[in-house]
Amino acid sequence: MKLATYSSADSRDGRLLVVSRDLARAADATTIVPTLQAALDRWDAVAPRLASLYDALNAGDLDGTFPFDPVLAESPLPRAYQWLDGSSYLAHGRLLDRAFNIPPIPQADVIPIMYQGGSDDFLPPHGDAPFASDEDGIDFEAEFAIVVGDVPMGADEATARDSVKLVLLANDWSLRALQPWEMKRGFGLIHSKPSTAFAPVAVTPDELGGAWRDGIIDLRVLTAWNGQPFGRPSGGAMDYRYAQLLTHAARTRRLRAGTIVGFGTTSEGQPDVVGSACITERRGFEIIQEGAPKTPFMKFGDTVKIEVLDADGRSVFGSIEQRVVPAQGAATP
């Protein structure tokens, strides 16, 4: 099943659509449930009805359908109760530790690293991404994420696996020039982690077929910067499985329906072979190889495109296509 959200004058949470498997057409789902968050709150009751609508849409047996326009879409959840982002790809962290001469985080290879991000204002997947200054080290981060139903405190991995309702593709923006100061303070990231964007379509795990296996998503994440290919690392390279991230997050508290958990920057730790899903990884590799970084961070006017294709070359989630612009009131170059 594939779901999306169009903006709505009646709700900041938008209105729910069911989208065809090929992302060509859509049907209004608000007669079943008004928003994606409302669907997650009552998933067991409404998911079968949404699935029936989805099947009818794909079969061409539904009246009132319309072309799906990703430019009109919000992030599937325009806002969420919680957004947690882990670091599942140890090769990424090890490369950066080596490049920047940073002591490894204790037990990072046995306990996932995770932070809590802002979730009150996700960006749409298409259009402008506003920033206060392009001197702040603007960096994209292409990654997978999952959306869960209710997860009990202390959940085991089997319970965690069963809680996954949807899979997302994200651009978890970072401001690298601001990160060192915030990290030294040891109390979380705020200024250096602006609003995240998610691809237009959320998918149920079964839509990924054989790529959803063994606790990973074995699909390549394709990133282009200003129209030029930048990276294509595989999500299958993750060290921490999604169930491990969830049990870590739920160790001392419940996770409520609609919580989003990210897998961290997709990485194989081989920028020279498969490229990277963020600029910082390439800069780190340049430091290791040449003694100094050469690749700049993004500037106002730059664009990024992030997409995942299935085995037949079809877009799974739709694309994230954003342009970096000055926020209202921010200084221009």
Q: What is the pLDDT of residues 19-60, one digit of tens each?
A: 999 999 999 999 999 999 999 999 999 999 999 999 999 999
The pLDDT value recorded for residue 188 is 81
Enumerate the H helices of 14-139 as residue ranges: 36-41, 43-59, 90-99
- End-to-end CA separation in angstroms for the chain: 44
**Percent of the chain whose pLDDT exceeds 70:** 98
* Residue-wise pLDDT tens digits, 127-151: 999 999 999 999 999 999 999 999 9
In the predicted structure, residue 330 carries a pLDDT above the cut 80:
no
Buried b (16+ CB within 10 A) or exposed e, 278-302: bbbbbbbbbbeeeeebeeebbebeb
pLDDT at residue 105 in the model: 83
* % pLDDT > 90, the chain: 91
The DSSP result for 162-225, as a single string, is HHEEEEEEEE--EETTTHHHHHHHTS--STTS---EE-S-EE-GGGGGGGEETTEE--BEEEEE
Choose among 251, 259, 162: nearest CA to 205: 162
Lowest mean pLDDT among 172-176, 190-194, 293-297, 328-332: 328-332
Q: What is the mean pLDDT of residues 171-194?
A: 90
Q: What pTM does this model have?
A: 0.95
Structural domains of the chain ordered from first start: 2-68 (no CATH), 83-326 (3.90.850.10)
Q: Tell me the two tokens of residue 216.
A: 């990973």
Paired tokens of 113: 């690293």
Q: How confident is the model at residue 107 (pLDDT cuts 50, 70, 90)?
A: confident
**Among the listed residues 235, 164, 242, 169, the one whose alpha carbon sits nearest the alpha carbon of residue 201:** 169
pLDDT tens, position by position, 247-258: 999 999 999 999
Which segment of 1-15, 95-109, 196-210, 228-242 scores lowest on mean pLDDT?
95-109
The per-residue pLDDT for range 52-102, each reduced to its tens digit, is 999 999 999 999 999 999 999 999 999 999 999 999 999 999 999 999 988
How far apart CA 131 and CA 31 sit, in angstroms, is 37
Q: Which long-range contacts (CB under 8 A, 24 or more apart) does 204-209 make?
A: 204/1, 204/2, 204/165, 204/166, 204/167, 205/164, 205/166, 205/167, 206/1, 207/1, 207/2, 207/21, 207/167, 207/316, 208/167, 208/310, 208/316, 209/310, 209/311
The per-residue pLDDT of the chain, averaged, comes to 95
Query: Is pLDDT of 332 > 60?
Result: no
The answer to whether the CB of 199 falls within 8 A of the CB of 306 is yes
DSSP code at position 105: P
Strands 260-262 and 83-86: parallel
Alpha-carbon gap, residue 19 to 2, rounded angstroms: 5
